[in-house]
Amino acid sequence: MTMSWETVIGLEIHAQLATGSKIFSSAPTAYGAAPNTQANLVDLGYPGVLPVLNREAVRMAVKFGLAVGATVASRSVFARKNYFYPDLPKGYQISQYEKPIVEKGRLEIVLDDGARKTIGITRAHLEEDAGKSLHEDFQGQSGIDLNRAGTPLLEIVSEPDMRSAKEAVAYLKKVHTLVRYLEICDGNMQEGSFRCDANVSVRRVGADKLGTRCEIKNLNSFRFIEKAINYEVARQIEVIEGGGTIKQETRLYDPDKGETRALRSKEEANDYRYFPDPDLLPVALDDAFISTVRATLPELPDEKAARYMQKFGLSLYDAGVLTASREMGDYYEAVVSGVPGHEKLAANWVMGELSGALNKDGIEVTQSRIDAKRLAGLLVRIADATISGKIAKEVFEQMWAEGQDADAIIEAKGLRQITDTSAIEKTIDEVLAANPRQLADYRSGKDKLFGFFVGQVMKVTGGKANPAQVNELLKRKLSG
Amino acid sequence: MTELHRLTLAELNEGLRARRFSSVELARHFLARIERFNPTLNAFITVTAEQALAAAQKADELIAAGEAQPLAGLPVVHKDIFCTDGVLTTCGSKMLSNFVAPYDATVVERLAQAGVVMLGKTNMDEFAMGSSNENSWYGPVRNPWDTKKVPGGSSGGSAAAVAARLAPAATGTDTGGSIRQPAALTGLSGFKPTYGRVSRYGMIAFASSLDQAGTLTATIRDGAMLLAHMAGFDARDSTSVDTPVPDYLGTLEQPLAGLKVGLLREFFEKGLDEESGKLVREALRLYEKLGAKLIEVSLPNLPLSVPAYYVVAPAECSSNLSRFDGARFGHRCEKPKDLLDMYKRSRGEGFGDEVKRRIMTGTYVLSAGYYDAYYLRAQKVRRLITDDFARAFKQVDVLMGPTSPTPAFDIGAKVDDPVTMYLNDIYTIGANLAGLPACSVPCGQSGGLPVGLQIIGPHFAEAKLLNVAHWYQRETEWHKRIPRGYE
């Protein structure tokens, strides 16, 4: 057994802000248009054009800053990051360097063992996205699509506070949830609206100094991030244990091969020659503006989860799942309002049957085939003992498939639960009479046969007998 | 009508409205002069004769219908740094020798809305980098006062065109003196407004924090006429300032009694041509006669303006000119073998020596390890100079001094010595670093060549500056002189 290692991870998240137009031009930001149809002269970096800051992007950045308890800078500065690349039309990217709009925030994640951990957010700054280089389909040449050029991004930089790939994923999911709650990013990872680079290093447990880090790029799904980090950690440990040293470099994750490979080393890195962009004035934000933005903050996921735990008596886990998206929380609360006093039942159904059905059909909760009111209608029938939980699952399936109300299905199929004591007793008597051998065995000490009798009663009643009553009456009969 | 070119813009405007001549006649007259004299002067890169005649025709119709805009039918030429929709816009560079702009700069658009007729685009130092107009890919411009001499730069084509009366007025841009210095060297009135007063949108950037558009005209009144329409907030330029534009023409004649004029001590020290210094002092005495009080002021940090400028301006230019990479517009080398080759050869072939020199200087001063020592320190010096000016303007209303250390020099005399060339801007750069309005008016001749008086004002004091400069022209005749052969 080798000495144990500690992993240190920091994430840089690029969240595309959900503005209608670009950060410095009036061109639209919609995804998927024909190449170069959503880039105007400003995006194309034509001679003489000038950038004009999109106020909406600023508002969104401030919203994020407030939601992570950060300092929102009263004065932030746009700088130029200079480098040549064909998908960077001006030869520089407008970003924020020395004076970002958001500094010193934090988010709390919940670890597997239920413990909570705070992850520091160093900064979040506004910048413009570059275009895309397309290397396929152009024999020996590259195509350039500048639709994405100038799309507003919020780059969220964490402290190196995470100690495992799992923690990194938990933090990333937390940010993902938050930006969607705030309605500042659609969170679509396939389309690249939410992407992440990971800075990964390892050190001996107990060491003070951080190890040399590598930056992994191209991480566009939660699954890849976990795999890429785990691969990278193993690679670094292997190198060091083999007597080598880690080179500071940028590495690309290849999801097909499941490995990272070196892209460029620090020595080859550009000198970006940052300097304040003279075309843009510093962004000055006064307290009044910040208060206005604060007033638009929705209930945040952690606040919502705390409320579910306190008011509805849900567990930390359940509260976390139900607040993972704003839509899920809204749905759950709509169900609760239709079946008051049965919050846990509602939670179980939303997290269980409903989520299962949504996953199976690959749809979002907003597209659910059973709306919250109908689901509540079904749960009311469980709560008032009209049907059992088991029958309810059948009803749910039919509701999902055919879109009827629970009551209509219960009536039409005669699924109403039997709660009439005399009717249940009568069935029990019949079952006991029909199974004399099992009855004798039970009475001679084979307790396990109790379940057999319950099963028989349920079978005869087509599952409609109230299970609690069956249990109670059966116990009385058998002991009598 | 042979004397039409001798009239000022204001007189031409009056004549047009009184129907003494038509806009088409005016356009034809000036176009004929361009055809006749431009081969010698090389003041134009593009002449837009056809469009000009069509626009003049339309202006005449509007005048006849009584619906004319304020400047309807007046011919104007634009420095080739301003984008003009559908017209070649070269910035004096091979890099943009094939660039037809797809839009109008705000300056061009606003003047067109005011009714002016564009005759063409004027020659300039490549990307406005130069003080002699020898850095144009289209060849040097000659000074109509002496064709062996430079007209100054970078707005040298605009200056030569108006001085030779090939056009009654021109636009220019001033980053370190590029309007005032050529105006001084060609006997014109050159006006550079406060940074932010005129939109930079569509003006091809050299040094964004210093560039400002202005005018080159025979008289200050003519400049005020154009400025009234050029100035004002533009939402497309974040550095344009949203303050109302005062009535510049309305305050031109206000008396100067009680005016406090600051004499810039540093401007009269070594390096100033003796005759030029004498003429400027005479001009100052005239102001005294008009009721002004002369107060000597010192701007102790001003001598640092040239080194500060030659860090800040190249730094910004090195970044601004990165977009000229051969990918989307402008010059692209033949058969690039890969991306790097395309960048290197397109830029290597497309830019001239002075532009390359400044890109390299700018890249150097912004590099890791040098940024603090150069760029940051230059910005601090800039702040000190700005503070010096602010302190001076607590004492005086305007500052006066020479515009240029010498009158026009020989073509070729300084091309091999960039540092000597840079010192041409020693008196003009301060106003750019501080973002102040400044102008130059002709105040005499030294060896048959014009000399300029520079007047600098506080931020947004354009009206005051125009008023003060105009009084000089009420009292003198220098602005009426036309070089021999162009009368």
pLDDT digits (tens, 9 = 90+) for A95-152: 999 999 999 999 999 888 878 899 999 999 999 999 988 877 667 777 889 999 999 9
- The residue type at A341: G
Write out the two tokens for A343: 């919050």
Q: To the nearest whole angstrom, how far is the Cα of A203 from the nearest Cα of chain B?
A: 30
Q: Select which of B22, B79, B189, B404 is catalytic.
A: B79
- Tell me the C-alpha to C-alpha distance, in Å, between residue A430 and each of A63, A128, A425, A436, A477: 68, 77, 9, 11, 12
- CB-closest option in A45, A47, A278 to B209: A278
The reply to whether residue A50 touches residue B204, judged by beta carbons under 8 angstroms, is: no
For residues A88 and A140, membership in a common domain is answered with yes
Token couple for B104:
């109008």
Q: List chain A residues with CB under 8 Å of B201.
A: 48-50
**Average pLDDT of the residues in A330-340:** 94
Residues with Cβ < 8 Å from A16, sequence gap 6 or more? A29, A129, A151, A152, A153, A185, A186, A192, A193, A194
| pLDDT tens track for A60-77 | 999 999 999 999 999 999
- Residue B4 φ/ψ, nearest 5 degrees: -50, -40
Out of A41, A84, A92, the one facing B102 most closely (by C-beta) is: A41
Neighbours of A384 (CB within 10 A): 11
Residue A130 CA: distances (Å) to CA of A61, A127, A391, B403: 19, 10, 55, 44
Q: What is the pLDDT of residues A155-180, one digit of tens each?
A: 999 999 999 999 999 999 999 999 99
**Distance (Å, rounded) from C-alpha B190 to C-alpha B163?**
11
**Domain shared by A344 and A263, yes or no:** no
For residue B236, which residues of chain A lie inside 8 Å, CB to CB?
50, 52
pLDDT of residue B221: 98
Known catalytic residue at B380: no
β-pairing, B117-122 vs B75-79, is: parallel
Distance from C-alpha of A458 to C-alpha of A462, rounded to nearest angstrom: 6
Q: Where is the domain boundary, A237, A258, A292?
A: A292
Using the Cβ of A100 and the Cβ atoms of chain B, whether some distance falls under 8 Å is answered with no
> Of how many residues is chain B composed?
487
Mark whether A121 and A217 lie in a shared domain. yes
- Look at strands A259-265 and A275-276 and give their pairing: unpaired
Written as one letter, the residue type at B470 is H
Identify the band that residue A448 occupies on the pLDDT scale cut at 50, 70 and 90: confident
Q: Is the bond into A444 cis (omega within 30 degrees of 0)?
A: no
Sequence-distant (6+) residues with CB within 8 A of B436 are B194, B195, B389, B430, B456, B457, B458, B459
Interface contact B366-A82, CB threshold 8 A:
yes
Lowest average pLDDT, out of A15-19, A340-344, B136-140, B421-425, goes to B421-425
Kindly state whether A47 is in contact with chain B, defined as any CB-CB distance less than 8 angstroms: yes
The answer to whether B276 is a known catalytic residue is no
Contact A278 B236 (CB under 8 A): no
Q: Are residues A204 and A59 in the same domain?
A: yes
The total of other beta-carbon atoms located within 10 Å of residue B229's CB is 19
Question: With an 8 Å Cβ cutoff, are B319 and A53 in contact?
Answer: no
Q: Which of B97, B124, B236 to substitute to test the interface with A, most A CBs within 10 Å?
A: B236
CA dihedral B91, B92, B95, B100 (to 10 degrees): 50
- Secondary structure string (H, E, C) spanning B85-99: CCEECCCCCHHHCCC
* Nearest CB neighbour to B322, from listed A41, A84, A86: A84
Amino acid at A71: T
Q: For B57-71, give one letter per residue: b (16+ CB within 10 A) or e.
A: bbbbebbeeeebbeb
Q: For chain B, what percent of residues have pLDDT higher than 90?
A: 93
Report chain A residues whose CB lies below 8 A from the CB of B99: 47
ipTM for the whole complex? 0.96
Is B97 touching A (CB cutoff 8 A)?
Answer: no
Compare all CA atoms of chain B with the CA of A85 and give the residue at the minimum distance: B339
Instruction: Give the three-class secondary structure for A60.
Output: helix
Q: Rounded distance, CA B486 to CA B209, Å?
A: 37
Nearest CB partner across the interface for B204, out of A48, A52, A144 = A48
Question: Do residues A253 and A315 both lie within one domain?
Answer: no
B-chain residues within 8 Å CB-CB of A53?
238
Give me the pLDDT at residue A1, please.
40
What distance in Å separates the CA atoms of residue A335 and residue A373, rounded to the nearest whole number?
6
Q: Which residues of A touch B83 (CB under 8 A)?
A: 47-48
Nearest CB partner across the interface for B208, out of A84, A271, A279 = A279
* Partner residue opposite B329 with nearest CB, options A46, A144, A279: A46
Domain tally for chain A? 3
Residue of B104, B237, B325 to mutate for A, most A C-beta atoms under 10 A = B325
User: What is the average per-residue pLDDT within B27-45?
Assistant: 98
Question: What are the start and end residues of each CATH 3.90.1300.10 domain in chain B?
Answer: 4-259+397-480
pLDDT in tens, A366-407: 999 999 999 999 999 888 878 888 888 988 999 999 888 888
User: Closest residue of A to B90, CA-based?
Assistant: A47
The answer to whether B238 contacts A273, with C-beta atoms less than 8 Å apart, is: no
- Exposure string over B192-213, b if 16+ CB within 10 A, otherwise e: bbbbbbbbbbbbbbbbbbbbbb
Q: A332-341, A388-397, A463-472, B444-453: which range is least confident on average? A: A463-472
What are the helix (H) ranges across A274-339? 287-295, 301-312, 316-322, 326-338
Chain-centroid distance of CA A236 in Å reads 29
CA separation for the pair A414, B152 (Å, rounded): 100
The answer to whether B119 touches B79, Cβ cutoff 8 Å, is: no
Residue A308 and residue A328 share a domain: yes
Contact predicate B130/B150, CB 8 Å: no
Give me the pLDDT at residue A110, please.
Answer: 87
Q: Is the distance from CB of A86 to CB of A133 less than 8 angstroms?
A: yes
3-class secondary structure, B464: helix
Q: Which residues of B touch A275 (CB under 8 A)?
A: 315, 319, 366, 371, 375
Q: Please list, in sequence order, all residues whose beta carbon lies within 8 angstroms of the beta carbon of residue B125, skipping any fewer than 6 positions away.
A: B92, B131, B132, B133, B134, B135, B136, B153, B154, B156, B178, B354
Mean pLDDT for chain A overall:
91
> Residue B14 corresponds to which tokens in the numbers above?
């009056």
Chain B residue nearest residue A86, CA to CA: B327
* B337 reaches A (C-beta below 8 A): no
Which among A46, A44, A16, A45 has a CA at the least distance from the CA of A31?
Answer: A16
Q: Which of residues 118-177 of B touch A (CB under 8 A)?
A: none
Is a pLDDT exceeding 90 seen at residue A270? no
The average pLDDT across B183-189 equals 98
pLDDT digits (tens, 9 = 90+) for A196-244: 999 999 999 988 899 999 999 878 889 899 999 999 999 999 999 999 9
Domain boundary among A380, A412, A444: A412
DSSP assignment of B139-175 equals ----BTTBTTB---SSSHHHHHHHHTTSSSEEEEE-S
Helix B23-41 with B49-64: angle, nearest 10 deg:
160
**Cβ–Cβ below 8 Å for A86 and B327:** yes
Of B207, B322, B375, the CB nearest to A92: B322
Q: pLDDT (tens digit, 9 = 90+) per residue, B336-353?
A: 999 999 999 999 999 999
Whole-angstrom distance, CA of residue B225 vs CA of residue A365? 65
Quote the mean pLDDT of chain B. 96
Q: Which of A246, A275, A292 is the last residue of a domain?
A: A292
Burial of B7 (C-beta count, 10 Å sphere; 0-12/13-18/19+): middle
Q: Is A35 on the interface with B (CB under 8 A)?
A: no
Residue of chain A whose alpha carbon sits nearest to that of B335: A141
Catalytic residue among B22, B23, B158, B178: B178
Give the whole-number percent of chain A exceeding pLDDT 70.
Answer: 98
* Cα B217 → chain centroid: 10
- At the topology level, CATH places domain B4-259+397-480 in Amidase signature (AS) enzymes (3.90.1300)
Q: ∠ CA A474-A476-A479 to the nearest 5 degrees?
A: 105
- Partner B contacted by A23 (CB < 8 A): no
Domain that holds residue A324: 299-412
Active site residue B293: no
What CATH number should be reported for the domain holding residue A458?
1.10.10.410
Q: Taking CB atoms and an 8 Å limit, are A89 and B207 in contact across chains?
A: no
Q: Which of B272, B282, B284, B281 is nearest to B406 (CA)?
A: B272
Shared domain check, A336 and A233: no
CA distance linking residue A193 with residue A190, whole number of Å: 8
Report how far apart, in Å, the C-alpha atoms of A39 and of each of A26, A46, A145, A154, B237 are.
Answer: 9, 11, 9, 20, 19
List the one residue out of B354, B395, B414 whose CA is nearest residue B149: B414
Are A435 and A368 within one domain? no
> Is B433 in the A-facing interface, judged by CB distances under 8 Å?
no
Q: How many CB atoms lie within 10 A of CB B335?
A: 8
Mean pLDDT lowest for which of B167-176, B339-348, B415-424?
B415-424
Q: Is the Cβ pair A48, B316 closer than 8 Å?
A: no
CB pairs under 8 A between A and B: 99
Buried b (16+ CB within 10 A) or exposed e, A227-255: bbbbbbbebbbeebeeeeebeebbbbbee
Q: Does B239 touch chain A (CB under 8 A)?
A: yes
Q: Are B476 and B467 in contact (CB under 8 A)?
A: no
Considering the domain architecture, whether residues A371 and A462 belong to the same structural domain is answered as no
Q: Which residue of chain A is at minimal alpha-carbon distance from B207? A: A278
- Note whether A91 and A222 are same-domain residues: yes
Cα A323 from Cα A332, distance rounded (Å): 9
pLDDT of res. A470? 86
Q: By three-state DSSP, how is residue B245 classified?
A: coil
Task: Dump pLDDT digits (tens) for B304-341.
Answer: 999 999 999 999 999 999 999 999 999 999 999 999 99
Say if the Cβ atoms of B83 and A47 lie within 8 Å.
yes
Please list every residue in chain B whose beta carbon sits closer than 8 Å to the beta carbon of residue A89: 323, 327-328
Catalytic residue among B22, B23, B131, B154: B154
